Amino acid sequence: MYKYIGDSILNASFTVQVPKPLDNRTVVNNIHELYSIPAAYAYLGMTVANIDNGNIYMLVDKTKINQKAGWKASYESIQIITCSYAEYKEWELNTNELFQPIDDTKEYLHQDTYYYIYEDSLPLEDINQEYVKRSDWQELLNQVATKASNNAVIAIN
């Protein structure tokens, strides 16, 4: 069964020809407006788009509607973006300290997002001791497996 039951039955479809939402609660300009939605007009599970940061928020605790703890934001889900090193650097240059685009016609880095950079696109000077290539890791695993296997044979003899 559904969590909510409607109050009216509509036996018609809509063709919306107005550049605004049907429900004015579904879009806010910023986080301040989100936290200002009156609890009397809110319901658990309602989703609201925030124009300022581009995230969708779902109300998860109506008693905390006026604070972060009352909402689950779309950015809180794990997001992984794959890209080349050159793309990442280009996006980084177009990102300000608030994780907003400097030029909104171009891609930028998003806060709370993981970026997987293709290994073969990394410049050699940027691969340091903190980075292990998959091929190096596999070679190490093979060496360890071989040594472990040889030691097991010696121990049996």
Looking at the whole model, is its pTM more than 0.95? no
Domain ranges, ordered by start, for the chain: 24-75, 78-124
Phi-psi region of 59 (alpha: psi -120 to 50; beta: other; left: phi over 0): beta
- Chain centre to alpha carbon of residue 140: 33
User: What pLDDT tens digit does each residue of the chain (157 aa) get?
Assistant: 788 888 888 898 889 899 999 899 999 999 999 999 999 999 999 999 999 999 999 999 999 999 999 999 988 877 889 999 999 999 999 999 999 999 999 999 998 888 999 888 888 766 555 566 778 778 888 888 876 555 555 555 4
Whole-number Cα distances in Å, 10 to 14, 41, 95: 10, 21, 46
